[in-house]
Structure 1
Amino acid sequence: MNIRSLAGVALALSLFLPLGAQAQTLDFSWQLNVGPLNPHQYGANQMFAQSMVYEPLVKYQADGSVAPWLAESWTVSEDGTTYIFKLRPGVSFSNGEPFNAAAVVKNFDTVLANKADHSWLGLVAALEKVEAVDDLTVEIVTKKPYYPMLQELSLVRPVRFLAPAGFPPSGNTAEGIAAPIGTGPWVLSESVLGQYDVFVRNETYWGDKPAFESVRVKVIADPNTRAIAFQTGEIDLIYGADGQVTPDTFHMLSQSGFESGVSAPYEAMALAFHSGKAPTNDLAVRQAVNHAINKDAIIDNVFYGTQRRADTLFPTTIPYADIGLEPYAYDPAKAAALLDAAGWTLADGQTVRSKDGVALAIELLYPAPDATMKSVAEVVQADLAAIGIAIRLVAAEDAEFYGRRTEGNFEMIFNPTWGAPYDPHAFLSAMLVPVNGGYHALSGLPEKPAVNAAITAALNSTDETDRQARYDFVMRTLHEEALYAPISNLAAIGVVGPDVTGLTFGATSYDFPFETLKPKQ
């Protein structure tokens, strides 16, 4: 009997166990199934689940450093273009295949064969070759120095490692995978579309094994339904930085005696403006929006104090971002004056400004499954109505939302930064290609070529002073051109049920605490 069959039998038997006998299964929920868990692809593959199954060469730490993981050590050439990684001995994939240099090269080869899929990531474009020196030694050579190499090797995707048996016959994972087989602490054992996914503990895992034997991820799309499922004991954990429940619900649960917490800020919630489309191609409109949003009210009344106000796109704690930018203060009067000066006037008896007979109306696109963003969008709508800007809210399911953001089919859209270990380098390098909202935010600016050149130069620079100067120019331009309206610095929230303990928060928003949680008894 294979592992999928065994896991299915175990799950079926668990349904008939008396209450309390299922303590070794941690019940969680997510808005959709975890997907095929292709480590080299995006889309339907949920990042937290990819991280459960697949591991990186190096692991990002909360202090900004990277630690040995599947690679136990490495050296870097003097010119910064050659990395030699010594792999951890004795590691195997969950199916028993050895994790070795050949497996590492095989995974890099399929990523490099599909460069277009990963054009947002500077690492992939920088790679010259990846070769096995011996069974446990890998050499990675870049075309030019690429300073974020180690940080990007720690990312959840696309450079994590699938067992050779998991590859399709063609060897190209862009066509799909045979099975999601990694070296991580969890193994995907069962998926039922629209209902749940089950992960079982990898009993041959090289590191510390989780306390729970399995994690059952139930598909619950609605945040209110998720909250009810938690209160009735159907799920044991609510966790995430993307609106798994509304902030007021989290506040209520945290005040009800459940073990709970809020992480340090991970990323910035921000609105992006398409500078190539009217009316957001008007600098005065973008500046007015920045001045008109009452961020403190959002922090107090929407987030219940679980977030912090964001005055710049990147918090000053992010590398290279502490450059003394002047925040756009909440000042509706100044916002109105900017619009008046730009010709967007409010006629007597009207509630919406116009210019040359065109109403000042903007579509704001937000992801439908995220309860938090919906609440923020409604406050933004009210704040901007107060200065004569009509905001039409459009809720889009994930596929539509991310598709429209990638294609530039928006005027104003939620476009959070990515947090560690992506910021600022990966978030900014993604602006160079049409795969993210940042590319379209820049599209209408005369300074776009200069900004693109500065981003590229910063990524290849080996001089800290030069790199800081390049980033200074880029961040200052984004800020002064008001291409984003930063609102809050996002944190993850977590609540565990009465039978669970050990809630922790990882170094990034993609590290979920399945390995640290324990049954209370």
Structure 2
Amino acid sequence: MTRSDTARPMVRRRRLRRRVTAALAAAAATAVLLAGCSAGSTAATSDTGPVRGGTLVYATDREPTCLDPHNSGDMPQTYIARQYLDSLVSLQEDGSVEPWLATGWTISDDGTQYDFTLKQGVEFTDGTPFDAQAVVDNFTQILDPATQSSTDLLYLTGYFDKATAISDHVVRITLKRPYSPLLAALSQAFFGMESPKAMARGLAANCESPVGTGPFEVAGWNHERDVELVRNDSYNSAPADAKHQGPAYLDGITWKFLKDNTTRYGALSSGEADVIFNVPPESEGLAKADPSIELQSFVHSGSPFSLDLNTQSTVFSDIRVRQAFVHASDAKEAVESAYNGVFPYEGNAVSSGTPHYDAAYHEPFPYDPAAAKQLLDEAGWTGRDADGYRTKDGETLTVKLPYNADSAETPPADVTILQDIQAMEKRVGIKVVLQALDSSSMNAVWGNPKAYDLLGNYWNSPTPHVMYIKYSKATYDVDNGQNSAFAYDDELDRLLIAGTATTDPAKQATAYAKAQQILTSKAWSLPLYPIQTRLGIADRVSGVWIEPSEGEPVLSDAYLIDGGK
């Protein structure tokens, strides 16, 4: 048996679509890239320590579709849910896992049974006790098809068997086979614990106001404007790595939705907002030069933002055409130009912070128009139409790339990247048709192999298991649209299963390196850049930090230096 106990020192630590192992400690050390650029000394000289009181205004670009992260599972949900939901465990910068609602756990020798001892004396904010049965009820809700818990289900598919209450304060999770990423997966707010009483109200009510044990609770959701959070004065379940124990310092948080980049940054610089999410790349220089603004950033591990190539489309069913497309795109130049060097290029199937990332596959298909042309010739696309695009058997070499016209879903810089790639592909004779669609039309595109040839996608995850989530045969038919390349490979499956079955870092490294080699050689995607959490923080605020499982902002330790006066 292996065991984790509470006898530990307290330590501190770090779409276009939605998005984990303690044993990967050494490799995961690179998963967290925190860049605190504190310009000026105003906050440092006036900050004499935590002050209670005041309401912090946090402005972000995207509004969640539901405040319950069990439902669906998109990044805006997990960012806000971290403020009112606690998890069983807490992920550290080095990839290790610390106690949270679980004070300790034991793992069976065969890796299929986890017994969690739960913190006692904890209640949900509706007065419901937190106990083993509550944990069981949470997994029951997650597994219920009606919950549409696509993100959580993809972490559990093929591995999770059942959750059982062994006693009031011991819960057992039984797996179908060893799953070393389990603990890190459970650290995400997607698996945050919710009140069984509140969940029983139904999905609609729970989407409006989920109830957790966390430092804040939902007071109201003013759709298209903000969510009001108020302090949980009885909070007594902070993780072992929190900067303080007990209730939050703030009276509350106004979680404001400001989609427009200029408006959101203007709110920070004018004092209307205390913290903003997603500092616009075009405002990076201004923020760095402003002594009243601190920048914090976190580069996500997982699958980078990529253009997935639909292998079921007539064009991209031919690997030579896929390889030609990737060779014809100077993706590195497109990313660096559009994002002013703020976002790094990543050409691997996983981001550089992902445990067992292999730098050998950082740029598997370098920009090479000559190679692209040769591959297209070999694939039979040798004719040309009046506009210079390649043809074969009377058909023009055309690929459709739909994207969400909402600027909060597809930032202006991403549109610039798509346009640059469109121009690059034209040089070798590939016609890229960009289709700006509304959100409803985009939802119909997901999971439909006939609706597109290329599609933007990413999946933030603290483990290399993300490759299994996106490309395993086991998850291929899960109705979530994440395998937008519509591709899988039996040898890849074998390697990914082997990687999750062992806790031996050397064996994991071997399996995951081979998996990355297969993924890049197949040219199932054109990777572009890793997703980032980028915060702009006014100097009147202290104590904000970013946790490393999903780059979730943590505001339970934050305070307004003047107490909000």
Shorter-chain TM range is 0.7 to 0.9
1:69–1:34 Cα change, 3 Å: same
Q: Out of 186, 193, 196, which is 2:223 matched to?
A: 193
Larger deviation, residues 360-369 vs 41-50:
41-50
Name the residue aligned to 1:339.
Answer: 376
Mapped to 2, the partners of 1:502 and 1:297 lie a distance apart of: 37
Name the residue aligned to 2:483.
Answer: 439
Q: 1:213: how far off?
A: 1.8
Question: Structure 2: which amino acid aligns with 1:350?
Answer: D
Name the residue aligned to 1:15.
Answer: none
Answering whether residue 280 of structure 2 is matched by residue 236 of structure 1, we say no
Name the residue aligned to 2:295.
Answer: 260
8 Å CA contact retained: 2:87, 2:193: yes
Name the residue aligned to 2:97.
Answer: 66
Q: Out of 344, 351, 356, which is 1:308 matched to?
A: 344
Mapped to 2, the partners of 1:292 and 1:178 lie a distance apart of: 46
Identity across the alignment (%): 27
Q: 1:204: how far off?
A: 1.2
1:137–1:266 Cα change, 3 Å: same
8 Å CA contact retained: 2:72, 2:149: no
Mapped to 1, the partners of 2:261 and 2:438 lie a distance apart of: 14
**Equivalence map 1:374-389=2 (5 Å):** 374-389=415-430
Q: 1:77: how far off?
A: 0.9
Name the residue aligned to 1:8.
Answer: none
SS at match of 2:57: strand
Q: 1:116: how far off?
A: 8.8
Mapped to 1, the partners of 2:296 and 2:334 lie a distance apart of: 20
Name the residue aligned to 1:292.
Answer: 328
Q: 1:142: how far off?
A: 1.6
Higher relative contact order (CA 8 A, sep 6+): 2
Q: Out of 358, 362, 372, which is 1:322 matched to?
A: 358
Mapped to 1, the partners of 2:498 and 2:480 lie a distance apart of: 20
Name the residue aligned to 2:113.
Answer: 82
1:215–1:61 Cα change, 3 Å: same
Q: 1:100: how far off?
A: 1.1
Question: Structure 1: which amino acid aligns with 2:380?
Answer: G
Larger deviation, residues 461-470 vs 280-289:
461-470
Mapped to 2, the partners of 1:343 and 1:511 lie a distance apart of: 48
Q: 1:126: how far off?
A: 2.5
1:221–1:354 Cα change, 3 Å: same
Question: Structure 1: which amino acid aligns with 2:173?
Answer: I
Q: 1:500: how far off?
A: 2.7
1:431–1:388 Cα change, 3 Å: farther
**Equivalence map 1:35-434=2 (5 Å):** 35-42=65-72, 46-114=77-145, 117-118=148-149, 120-123=153-156, 125-157=158-190, 159-168=191-200, 179-206=209-236, 207=238, 208=245, 209-240=247-278, 246-257=280-291, 258-267=293-302, 268-315=304-351, 317-322=353-358, 324-325=360-361, 327-345=364-382, 347=384, 350-367=387-404, 368=406, 369=408, 370-371=410-411, 372-398=413-439, 400-408=441-449, 409-421=451-463, 423-429=466-472, 431-434=475-478
Alignment RMSD (CA, Å):
3.1
SS at match of 2:446: helix
Q: 1:271: how far off?
A: 1.1
Q: 1:289: how far off?
A: 2.3
8 Å CA contact retained: 1:188, 1:198: yes
- The alignment's TM-score, normalised by the length of structure 1, stands at 0.84
1:494–1:225 Cα change, 3 Å: same
SS at match of 1:507: coil
SS at match of 1:217: strand
Mapped to 2, the partners of 1:222 and 1:515 lie a distance apart of: 27
Tell me the matched-pair count.
490
SS at match of 1:230: helix
1:55–1:426 Cα change, 3 Å: farther
Gaps of 5+ in 2: 1-51, 239-244
Cα shift readout 1:348-370 (whole Å, capped 9, x = no counterpart): 86332222221122222333323
Q: 1:427: how far off?
A: 4.2
Question: Structure 2: which amino acid aligns with 1:164?
Answer: P
Mapped to 2, the partners of 1:440 and 1:300 lie a distance apart of: 25
1:509–1:317 Cα change, 3 Å: closer
Name the residue aligned to 2:555.
Answer: 514
Question: Structure 2: which amino acid aligns with 1:342?
Answer: A
Question: Structure 2: which amino acid aligns with 1:199?
Answer: L
Name the residue aligned to 2:6.
Answer: none
Question: Structure 2: which amino acid aligns with 1:76?
Answer: I
SS at match of 1:53: coil
Name the residue aligned to 1:11.
Answer: none
Larger deviation, residues 82-91 vs 292-301:
292-301
SS at match of 1:90: coil
8 Å CA contact retained: 1:308, 1:490: no
Q: 1:345: how far off?
A: 3.3
Mapped to 1, the partners of 2:208 and 2:286 lie a distance apart of: 44
